[in-house]
Amino acid sequence: GQNIDQPTEMTATEGAIVQINCTYQTSGFNGLFWYQQHAGEAPTFLSYNVLDGLEEKGRFSSFLSRSKGYSYLLLKELQMKDSASYLCAVKRDSNYQLIWGAGTKLIIKP
């Protein structure tokens, strides 16, 4: 079956670093996406990984290990505006459909 696991909720402090994990078991793999969704708003694209390793984009980095079925999103120098849900999605290689995790709600405290 298809399964994407993420923690339901995490809390971190402004200025700190937080790592949001995503593990997956899917039939076929053609890349992993991270999206950010603020409450009441549309999800917005953060990153895409298809090869193993770390992709850095400003304060945000995303890591992928295909052999372990594992990814994480690393957020540095946390700001209050980073309070949002972070969605992990895996693209299957058969029909290119995205399988989505339930999302991780990140709460940033001053």
Partner 1 sequence: KAGVTQTPRYLIKTRGQQVTLSCSPISGHRSVSWYQQTPGQGLQFLFEYFSETQRNKGNFPGRFSGRQFSNSRSEMNVSTLELGDSALYLCASSLELGGPGANVLTFGAGSRLTVL
Site residues, partner 1 (CB under 8 A): 4, 8, 30-31, 33, 35, 40-45, 48, 50, 87, 89, 91, 93, 95-98, 100-103
Least Å distance between CB 25 and partner 1?
14
Nearest CB to partner 1, comparing residues 83 and 97: 97
Nearest CB to partner 1, comparing residues 36 and 78: 36
Q: Tell me the C-alpha distance between 97 and 18, whole Å.
A: 29
According to DSSP, the β-strands at 104-109 and 9-13 are parallel
Least Å distance between CB 100 and partner 1?
4
Mark 12-46 as b/e (b = at least 16 C-beta within 10 Å): beeeeebebebbbebeeeebbbbbbeeeeeebeeb
Nearest CB to partner 1, comparing residues 9 and 14: 9
In the structure encoding, which two tokens stand for residue 37, read together? 């969704």
Least Å distance between CB 80 and partner 1?
21
Nearest CB to partner 1, comparing residues 78 and 104: 104
Secondary element (H or E) of residue 64 = strand 60-65
